A and B are shown apart, each in its own frame.
Chain A
């Protein structure tokens, strides 16, 4: 029974490049959440998706960031034209309806 799977675990990008982060939820989970964690800080909500729908994107920056959860395949968090301030750990969580959220191991994004 695999948990939430995120890849890559580490991603290095140069300023101006694009970053794509992937998340496969736990089997049977239809709710996916993305959170960002800056060094030595708490987790900040970014976006909540269900299959093919964005339910709540109130935590997403208005520009350069987008997320999707297609009918088939993993959820993708996409950051265009990355800047140094995007360096962080990005965690994905999944859940069943109103059940507890379970987190993946995260993607640590470093911007050179």
Chain B
């Protein structure tokens, strides 16, 4: 089955700096890659996603890149703010093939003032 690895497990940045979180996946059939943000005690919230027919997607301060050949994808957050502090999870799935999400182990992002 699919296996998703995520790095780093913790990330501390200064406010205004950029943050990058990286994930790799094992199943070349995976074609959908969402990113979720989870604040303490809250639900995971979808912040951005990308499908395998696209190499990059951007939404304001958040961008995701996908390298299908290397089987890795990354989340980029620019101009970080304290409210960006949370745990971020990457995931992979095969749409049309059951859709179950395989999650990475999460990255605790702390944005310091």
- Contact status A45-B102, CB under 8 Å: yes
Q: Which of A50-69 contact B (CB under 8 A)?
A: 55-56, 58-59
Give the docked Cα–Cα distance between A45 and B99 (Å): 10
Tell me the minimal C-beta distance from B38 to chain A in angstroms: 9
Name the CB-closest residue of A to B105. A42
Give the docked Cα–Cα distance between A33 and B91 (Å): 14
Instruction: With A55-B98, A56-B98, A98-B96 as known contacts, state yes or no: A103 contacts B104, CB within 8 Å.
Output: no
Give the docked Cα–Cα distance between A56 and B49 (Å): 23
Tell me the minimal C-beta distance from B8 to chain A in angstroms: 14
| Residues in A whose Cβ lies below 8 Å from that of B32 | 98
Name the CB-closest residue of B to A45. B100
Give the docked Cα–Cα distance between A106 and B6 (Å): 23
Q: Mark A27-56, 1 if CB is under 8 A from B, else 0.
A: 000010101000001111100100000011
Give the docked Cα–Cα distance between A101 and B43 (Å): 12
Tell me the minimal C-beta distance from B11 to chain A in angstroms: 15
Tell me the minimal C-beta distance from A30 to chain B in angstroms: 12
- Contact status B45-A103, CB under 8 Å: yes
- Contact status B96-A106, CB under 8 Å: no
Which among B1, B6, B44 has the greatest number of chain A C-beta atoms within 10 A?
B44
- Contact status A42-B89, CB under 8 Å: yes
**Which chain A residues have a beta carbon within 8 Å of chain B's beta carbons?**
31, 33, 35, 41-45, 48, 55-56, 58-59, 91, 93, 95, 98, 100-106
**Which chain B residues have a beta carbon within 8 Å of chain A's beta carbons?**
1, 6, 32, 34, 36, 42-46, 49, 89, 95-96, 98-106
- 8 example contacts (A-B, Cβ-Cβ < 8 A) are as follows A33-B101, A48-B99, A56-B100, A58-B1, A93-B101, A98-B96, A101-B46, A106-B43
